[in-house]
A and B are shown apart, each in its own frame.
Chain A
Amino acid sequence: MKKTPERFESLAAEYVLGSLTGRARQRFERWMMQSVQVRQEVWFWEERLGQLTRAVPSVSPAASVWANIERRLWPTAGETPHAHPRMRWLWPSWSLLASAAALVLAVIVAFPHQTGTGRDVQLTGAVVQADVSDPLWLVSEAGSNRLRLRPVAAVDAEQGRDYELWVVPGDGSPLSLGVMAVGGVYEVTLSEDARRLLASSRTLAISLEPRGGSPTGVPTGPVLHITRLYEM
């Protein structure tokens, strides 16, 4: 695929329209990951073609839809007598996470000038998949130069394949943060380069690679997830 501006202009439009499908769509998503210009082109079309949705009449959804959303996000919040055991196990960790977030926030508020010489924000986020109610991984920074991914609903990569984590810069090729095992918490020390790129783009991606990771240094398999981190 030749990467000319005309090419990405036309592919971005078709991506948003939805007529770009299958492998071509996956290839384009990988390309989106590599270039902020391509992403901006996509956003241009999302906004302009999005105006077409203004003409679509509103229809109120059934009340059960909201109930289902609540049940998926906060499994123990409802009064379901037979909550799934895994869900029950999850709930304490979510509330722990919430208080951890509140604690960090409190620390920042209380000591606004003691942020040191490094970056003064902690990034956090979650890798989610639309059809899975729990996040696949929770992402957090551990100290100033370590990134931690804790698996929640992530499942092992298929036989003979591995997940590889990437920092996606604003422009240029992604930088590998290594191959992740799903079994436990994945923690990686960020190089100076990786820290700089992550601080500016705040974007991570996970691709599916041959066992041991990409042989070429750039993603070769499908990009499964792109996630943007936010300040905690």
Chain B
Amino acid sequence: MQLSRHPPRNCSGALDNTGQNMTVDESEQKELLNLLLAVAQHDREAFRQLYQRVSARMFGLCYKLSAQQDLAEEALQDAFVQIWHNAGEYHGDRGAPLGWMLTIARYRTLDLIRARRSLRSAGDDMLKHLEDGRWGPLETRLQQAGATALTGCLEELSDTQRDTILLSYYRGMTHDELAQTLASPVGTVKSWIRRGLMALKRCLER
């Protein structure tokens, strides 16, 4: 059960065309893994170092998702409290250590967003971009980088499939919010997402 069905990230050049980054990334992940192991033994100094190493990455994500300083800060705090208590739960099947920590931060941010039902302002921003028929500069950059990260598979999706997936992922939008933002029936939005994700999976597995 502990044998991963999936190759570890960056074990093949196809997943990351910046060859130089591969070793940097691998040694970084190894250091993060060592810090996590020490944190699982309740080593506070390791925890402090871990925070220094990854908090800006995690906070960037919390902030990107919520577009709210205080919510992002609360999510980051919660995520680190969780990492302190749950470091022992990390294992290789859950991806690289940084990815695991970013996942914790992301879920927590989404929880808080939903709990506060505060998505409306972020949704309105997005609506403006979409009404213009274009993404904001940051979104374009993210979209391109996202496509590279997923080995070009996002480019194989239809525009609506890709947009709904990225809006869910980066903005934490629910089906209802997407339907409202994209002025489309919920059923249609659901089917874009579902078909998009399955097409993405088929592509990633090739």
Contact = CB atoms under 8 A, between A and B. Distances in A.
Given A58-B56, A130-B111, A230 B40 contact: yes
A191 interface: no
B51 A60 contact: no
Interface residues of B, number: 69
B103 A128 contact: no
Given A10-B197, A43-B93, A52-B146, A128 B82 contact: yes
Contact of A21 (B64, B102, B114): B114
Contacts of B81: 69, 72-73, 128, 130, 133
Contacts of B110: 18
Contact of A66 (B55, B60, B102, B193): B55
B163 to A, nearest CB: 13
Interface stretch (B27-35, B84-92, B126-134): B84-92
A32 to B, nearest CB: 13
Interface residues of A, number: 52
Contact of A56 (B44, B61, B73, B107): B61
A66 B51 contact: yes
Contacts of A18: 106-107, 110, 168-169, 172, 174
Contacts of A51: 9, 99, 146, 149-150
B44 to A, nearest CB: 8
Contacts of A130: 78-79, 81-82, 108, 111
A47 interface: yes
Taking each of B64, B169, B170, which has the highest tally of chain A beta carbons within 10 Å of its own beta carbon?
A: B169
A143 interface: no
Interface string B45-72: 0001001000111011101100000001
A82 interface: no
Interface in A4-56: 9-10, 13-14, 17-19, 21, 36, 40, 43-44, 46-56
A155 interface: no
Nearest to A62: B73
B152 interface: no
23 contacts: A14-B193, A17-B169, A18-B172, A21-B175, A44-B5, A47-B99, A49-B169, A50-B103, A51-B9, A53-B106, A54-B149, A55-B142, A55-B149, A56-B60, A59-B56, A59-B60, A60-B55, A61-B59, A61-B76, A69-B77, A128-B82, A170-B1, A228-B88
Interface of A: 9-10, 13-14, 17-19, 21, 36, 40, 43-44, 46-62, 64-66, 68-69, 72-74, 98, 101, 125-126, 128, 130-131, 133, 135, 170-171, 227-230
Interface of B: 1, 5-6, 9, 40, 42, 44, 48, 51, 55-57, 59-61, 63-64, 72-73, 76-82, 84-86, 88-89, 93-96, 99-100, 102-103, 106-108, 110-111, 114, 141-142, 144-146, 149-150, 165-166, 168-170, 172-175, 178, 193-194, 197-198, 200-201, 204
